[in-house]
Amino acid sequence: MIKRIVFAVLGGVSILFSGLNDCFAEDITVTTYYPSPNGIYDQLLASKMAVGDMNGDGSLNASDIPTTSGNLFVKGTIAVNRTTPLSGADWNLIKLDLNGFGLAADSSASVLFGPAAGHSAIELREIDNSGTPYIDFSNDNSVDYDARIILLDNNELNIQGANLVIGDANTTPALELYVNGRIGCSNPQASATKHVFDVAEIMPVEGEVSPGDVVVLVAGKDRVLSRGKVPYDRLVAGIVSSEENSAKSTAIFLIGNKQDALRKTGRQHEFVTIVGQVAVNVCLENGTIEPGDLLVTSSVPGYAMKGTDQQKMFGAVVGKAMERFAPQAPAQDKGQIIALLSLQ
């Protein structure tokens, strides 16, 4: 026998539930046993339950109750750990108010909603510090996921399985990152000694190279660079960039992965500036350097000097000096200045 109970609680929110075989045949109300409109109940057991007018017909009846056991249908908001509504909240929009509580699938993983350090937050957390939290997106059930956002090694947020499009893209981009707008960067390396940044790309190198070195193409080899050591070398290719925060200049965009390139090709790679301002090694081999002087390779490995021979300079210029280099002591005939990369 199925019993249906209709009762009113907390100012008019009505509940319908059914279950409990071998009960009375007739409809009864909870207020039959407890004073209306409120009651205190030690136990409430049902195989399925509806809260509110689910079908919107203006009345509470059996058609509001779920047809499958184990289901709870709610027309309204479920509030946990609250005795009064959330101040200023639109309860027509809020469906689940957890008041900072978390939903956990098991004892080790959780999704936390609510205020964190005074701010609204949604947090994915591995409670026992094991495993990897992630969010999956899928359009169908043909694969495990179509796109995944996953936290790796505590400091790397990785997007897998899909391209990242920022902005309103009219067509699907073929690139892994497409920005329909502007990218702004401000002081990402606060400890750099000068507020100067460049764009650098990995390139194969031969022999020892260091940040600031002027590098040239190795004659007879494809796409291999080494320190320049011939004055006015037209094989000049660029300047090795710095990845260190404490350097005079620091690369702001690093294109490529040196370790991955080494693993795949077996060749050492370094970041070489392709555009922007960069710290370059310079020497006094051809005299003091003034802002605006064009820089070329010198006989000192990895160092640039100012160019003065117009005929030799064609195709040998690596950049333009933006700072003066004129040390007083002879022992200080080598150093670094900021140059604007300008291959010509």
**Tell me, what's the pLDDT at 141?**
74
Q: What is the distance between the alpha carbons of residues 96 and 114, in angstroms, rounded to a whole number?
A: 11
> Hey, what amino acid is at 15?
I
**Tell me, what's the pLDDT at 13?**
43
Q: How confident is the model at residue 89 (pLDDT cuts 50, 70, 90)?
A: low
**Tell me, what's the pLDDT at 182?**
76
**Tell me, what's the pLDDT at 41?**
63
Q: Would you give the end-to-end CA distance of the chain in angstroms?
A: 93
Q: What is the distance between the alpha carbons of residues 217 and 224, in angstroms, rounded to a whole number?
A: 6
> Phi first, then psi: what are they for 246, rounded to 5°?
-85, 0
Q: What is the mean pLDDT of residues 99-109?
A: 50
Q: What is the distance between the alpha carbons of residues 22 and 52, in angstroms, rounded to a whole number?
A: 26
- Select the more confidently predicted residue: 154 or 48: 48
Q: What is the distance between the alpha carbons of residues 294 and 8, in angstroms, rounded to a whole number?
A: 87
Q: What is the distance between the alpha carbons of residues 123 and 312, in angstroms, rounded to a whole number?
A: 62
**Tell me, what's the pLDDT at 253?**
83
pLDDT at 284 over 80: yes
Residue of 236, 223, 199, 226 lying closest to 343 (CA atoms): 236
Please write the tens of the pLDDT for every residue from 162-210. 877 776 656 555 666 777 777 776 655 555 556 677 889 999 999 999 9
Q: Strand, coil or helix: what is 218?
A: coil
- Select the more confidently predicted residue: 301 or 192: 301
> Full-prediction pTM beyond 0.85?
no
Q: State both tokens at 21.
A: 């075989």
Torsion (CA) 84, 87, 93, 99 in degrees, nearest 10: -60
134: CB partners within 8 A, 6+ apart: 124, 148, 149, 150, 151
Residue of 247, 271, 259 lying closest to 195 (CA atoms): 247
> What is the average pLDDT value for the chain, to the nearest integer?
76
- Domains annotated on the chain, with CATH: 3-76 (no CATH), 197-341 (2.40.300.10)
Q: What is the distance between the alpha carbons of residues 248 and 196, in angstroms, rounded to a whole number?
A: 8
With tokens 């009960």, the residue in question is: 23
Instruction: Indicate the range of 9-18, 153-162, 253-262, 298-307 predicted with least confidence.
Output: 9-18
Q: Strand, coil or helix: what is 276?
A: strand
Instruction: Indicate the range of 139-143, 265-269, 292-296 predicted with least confidence.
Output: 139-143
Q: What is the distance between the alpha carbons of residues 179 and 168, in angstroms, rounded to a whole number?
A: 9
Radius of gyration of the chain (CA): 35
